[in-house]
Amino acid sequence: MNVFRFMLHNQHQVLQLTLEHLRLVGFSTLFAMLIGIPLGIGIAHRPRFNKLVLATANIIQTIPSLALFGFLLPVPWLGARADRLAILALTLYALLPIIRNTYTGIRGVDAAVVEAGRGMGLTESQLLFQVELPLAVSVILSGVRVAVVISVGLATIAAAIGAGGLGEFIFRGLAMVDDRVILAGAIPAALLALLADFGVGWLERRLQPR
Amino acid sequence: MPPEAASPVIEFRDVSYRVAGTQVLSGFNLQVESGETLVLLGRSGSGKTTSLKLVNRLLSPTSGEIRVKGVPNTEADVIRLRRSIGYVIQDVGLFPHFTIERNIGLVPKIEGWQAARIGARVQELLQMVGLAPEIASRYPHQLSGGQRQRVGVARALAADPEILLMDEPFGALDPLTRDELQREFLLLQQRLHKTVVFVTHDLREALRLGSRIALMEAGRLVTVLAPADFLRSTDPLASAYVRAFGEGLESAANRGTS
């Protein structure tokens, strides 16, 4: 197979771009979790804001990715480093599934359980960390899983603004009209997506409350 | 102001509760004495559950005050207040991700008890509510409805509260299990002498378990009667209840400890 010969021949570059790709996805997912999970908890406890927050995240999701990358380019400081910019854009895209699943997960905790806990004298933070979050964790993680898989795919587009990652191969291949080069980017990206899906899925099952 | 020795354990003083334009409770006055089982009897929406939740401040009254051990319950720290009051609800609300031992031992644990003391207390409570010791390591979904409700009672008793609030605790159980739990509740109460407020819509249960029955209707207290007097009451609502439940109520009022 030509593709694999090409990949083997350029194994250092494949490895480097894969690592860059992982870095983009890893940081953006981390940031999206740091923002999205507290936000999801917040709107689950204060439903007044849920429409506003979910609608905003929804709208971000509908912006075409290439447009968002281009749109952010002129932003000072951020625009100076393409990878920062890509991480920001990917973070924005990852927010929706994480916020929505956190919201759904926390809201889905049996009301009787929460009321019993509150009535027994658990503080709000004990209720959150010992009851609500453990019971919602698998729903939240399935949101993270969706976010990661989306990010792996979207991160290939980051190469268009020079942020690196496996998209480099894809864009180069497109320019060169060379399938081998396109596939050298697409195949590792697809494998990453599958791996991430499997990995977070495994974690999800491990943490599933009985 | 130190509470007097003879003061009621729980006292509702002219309590009203309104939510979203609905008057759930109005002009509610009631005293619950130490060691008694006061039953709040009434149909759905009569304000029974609301009254209960006002005691442990899951709800706050629109006007009036609730005194617990002579002190307005708003003066105590709400978390301390709740931990000093056992709370049992119909849906039990066991934590599905905790073992039975952790469920029962939760309040003692957050109160900082030693692990060994918690373990011993859990075993003591399991025995008290008639459950086998090996249940401790199981999860709630592995138990039957009756067993779960026993655990719910054990959990409420864990930190040895003086007061127990019970909101239709046996309402979702099949008749045989309910009968069993009612009987055990009476035996338990003979030993523990907790001050219990017990919500039900079942007259038979009220007659059997209550030392007094507070009859409620549309957010008002209609009357408070001892079980035997309830059967002879000329109050239209009380006699409507007696008619609706039909024959065999005397034996329930006589505590049917067969």
Cβ-defined contact of B80 to A131 (cutoff 8 Å)? no
Cβ-defined contact of B92 to A131 (cutoff 8 Å)? no
Cβ-defined contact of A119 to B58 (cutoff 8 Å)? yes
Cβ-defined contact of B82 to A120 (cutoff 8 Å)? yes
Confidence of residue B100 (pLDDT cuts 50, 70, 90): very high
Q: What's the CA gap between B113 and B119, in Å, rounded?
A: 10
Write out the H or E segment, with its range, that includes residue B45.
none
Segment B184-200, tens digit of pLDDT: 999 999 999 999 999 99
- How many CB pairs below 8 Å do chains A and B form together? 65
Q: What's the CA gap between B231 and B250, in Å, rounded?
A: 8
Confidence of residue B244 (pLDDT cuts 50, 70, 90): confident
pLDDT greater than 60 at residue B3: no
Kindly state the percentage of chain B with pLDDT values over 70: 95
Chain A residues with CB-CB distance to B56 below 8 A: 119
pLDDT greater than 60 at residue B2: no
Per-10-residue mean pLDDT, chain A, length 210: 84 92 95 97 92 92 86 75 89 95 96 94 94 95 95 91 90 91 93 93 84
ipTM of the prediction: 0.86
Quote the pLDDT of residue B1: 46
Chain B residues with CB-CB distance to A134 below 8 A: 97
Identify the DSSP state of B144: -
Cβ-defined contact of A119 to B82 (cutoff 8 Å)? yes
> Which of B87, B97, B139 lies nearest to residue A120, judging by beta carbons?
B87
Residue range B224-249: mean pLDDT, rounded: 86
Measured from the Cβ of residue A95, the count of other Cβ atoms closer than 10 Å reads 26
Length in residues, chain B: 258
Give burial (CB, 10 Å; 0-12/13-18/19+) of A130.
buried
Quote the pLDDT of residue A82: 83
Residue range B127-136: mean pLDDT, rounded: 93
> Tokens for A157?
């587009």
Quote the pLDDT of residue B152: 95
- Lay out the sheet containing B195-200: strands in order across: B85-89, B163-167, B195-200, B37-41, B212-217, B220-225
**Strand partners for B103:** none
Confidence of residue B6 (pLDDT cuts 50, 70, 90): low
Quote the pLDDT of residue B257: 47
Segment B140-182, tens digit of pLDDT: 999 999 999 999 999 999 999 999 999 999 988 899 999 999 9
Identify the DSSP state of B67: E
Angstrom CA distances, B244 to B38, B179, B202, B204, stand at 22, 20, 10, 11
Quote the pLDDT of residue A6: 87
Amino acid at A158: A
* pTM > 0.90: yes or no: no
pLDDT greater than 80 at residue B124: yes
Quote the pLDDT of residue B255: 63
Confidence of residue B258 (pLDDT cuts 50, 70, 90): very low
Amino acid at B184: E
Q: Quick one: closest CA in A to B102, which residue?
A: A130
pLDDT greater than 70 at residue B248: no
Chain B residues with CB-CB distance to A115 below 8 A: 58, 89, 93
Q: What angle do CA B163, B165, B169 make, to 5 degrees?
A: 140
Q: What's the CA gap between A188 and A210, in Å, rounded?
A: 36
Residue range B77-102: mean pLDDT, rounded: 94
Residue range B63-75: mean pLDDT, rounded: 93
Cβ-defined contact of A118 to B94 (cutoff 8 Å)? no
